[in-house]
């Protein structure tokens, strides 16, 4: 607890002024997470990575529509809502990626013929949106108490035109990058759950990005653990 307060006392120097370039490419932006902030959903979490912010709400295990019922496991649904306008193809494809990741870790067989709905709302997009969506979804699932075989996190890597690796890129870095790779990793063995890439890269670079993502995932999981520790602490 003491440690957490210490961390609070320090300055988050980059809030709101993210246009300033970050020193080294291989660092994660500041993270913040708030769980259980909505009263209606069974579990909710707001996850911030730098200025990127996603709000997630989870309903479930709950009643399922007969048309969507699966007899031996829970029906997992992911809804991603953009901030402006109506959801389009990009949102549908992200929804699918997130759903597949969640399905890999959620123990749906424990709740057959129910529905687990994850609703994600983009609050602000400043790069690494998919990774932030994944992290928010994981924290909301944890808050809802949905049984999972492991936690998962999303990490985005960007490769510059000169091949330098940037972790957790901002929107500007993503735009200038030659390739943007997003991975979802599990917390037990840091195995790959999902990967989606955009742009041109060699197979050596892919392995490098994956190794860097695995290193970064350790930090994210530590963040998860500390935030849950704080939440369930007695003091």
Binding interface with another protein (CB under 8 A): 4, 7-8, 10, 12-18, 22, 24, 26-41, 44, 46, 48, 51, 53, 55, 57, 59, 62-63, 79, 81, 83-85, 115, 117, 119, 121, 123-124, 126, 165, 167, 203-205, 207-208, 210-212, 215-216, 219, 223, 226-227, 230-231, 233
**Shortest distance in whole angstroms from residue 194 CB to another protein:** 19
94 versus 149: smaller Cβ distance to another protein = 94
**Shortest distance in whole angstroms from residue 111 CB to another protein:** 14
Yes or no: say if 224 and 134 are a contact pair by the CB < 8 Å rule.
no
31 versus 152: smaller Cβ distance to another protein = 31
Yes or no: say if 174 and 212 are a contact pair by the CB < 8 Å rule.
no
SS3 189: coil
**Shortest distance in whole angstroms from residue 178 CB to another protein:** 17
**Shortest distance in whole angstroms from residue 180 CB to another protein:** 17
Query: How far apart are the C-alpha atoms of 40 and 32, rounded to whole Å?
Result: 22
Yes or no: say if 167 and 212 are a contact pair by the CB < 8 Å rule.
yes
Supply angle C-alpha 227, 232, 235, rounded to 5: 105
Residue 79 vs residues 57, 76, 120: alpha-carbon distances, Å: 10, 10, 6
55 versus 177: smaller Cβ distance to another protein = 55
Residue 190 vs residues 45, 119, 142, 193, 217: alpha-carbon distances, Å: 23, 25, 18, 9, 8
**Shortest distance in whole angstroms from residue 100 CB to another protein:** 19
18 versus 103: smaller Cβ distance to another protein = 18
User: Measured in whole angstroms, how far is the alpha carbon of residue 200 from the centre of its chain?
Assistant: 24
**Shortest distance in whole angstroms from residue 130 CB to another protein:** 18
Q: Is 92 left (phi over 0), alpha (psi -120 to 50) or beta?
A: alpha
**Shortest distance in whole angstroms from residue 21 CB to another protein:** 13
Among all chains, which residue has been given the structure tokens 């190794």?
Answer: 211
Nearest to 193 by CA among 221, 142, 154: 154
**Structure tokens given for 37:** 């902030």
28 versus 150: smaller Cβ distance to another protein = 28
11 versus 149: smaller Cβ distance to another protein = 11
């Amino acid at each position: 607890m003491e440690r957490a307060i210490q961390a609070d006392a320090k300055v988050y120097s980059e809030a709101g002024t993210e246009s300033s370039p970050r020193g080294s490419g291989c660092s994660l932006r500041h993270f913040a997470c708030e769980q259980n902030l909505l009263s209606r959903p069974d579990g909710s979490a707001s996850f911030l990575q730098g200025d990127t912010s996603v709000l997630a709400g989870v309903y479930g295990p709950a009643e399922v529509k007969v048309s969507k019922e699966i007899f031996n496991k829970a029906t997992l649904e992911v809804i991603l809502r953009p901030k402006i306008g109506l959801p389009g193809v990009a949102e549908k494809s992200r929804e699918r990626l997130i759903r597949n990741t969640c399905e890999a870790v959620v123990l749906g067989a424990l709740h057959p013929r129910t529905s687990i709905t994850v609703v994600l709302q983009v609050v602000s997009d400043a790069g690494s949106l998919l990774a932030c969506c994944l992290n928010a979804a994981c924290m909301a699932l944890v808050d809802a108490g949905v049984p999972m075989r492991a936690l998962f996190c999303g990490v985005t890597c960007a490769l510059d035109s000169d091949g330098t690796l940037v972790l957790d890129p901002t929107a500007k870095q993503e735009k200038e990058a030659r390739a943007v790779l997003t991975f979802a990793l599990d917390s037990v063995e840091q195995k790959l759950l999902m990967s989606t890439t955009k742009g041109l890269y060699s197979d050596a670079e892919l392995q490098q990005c994956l190794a860097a993502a695995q290193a970064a995932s350790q930090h994210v999981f530590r963040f998860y653990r500390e935030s849950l520790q704080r939440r369930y602490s007695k003091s």
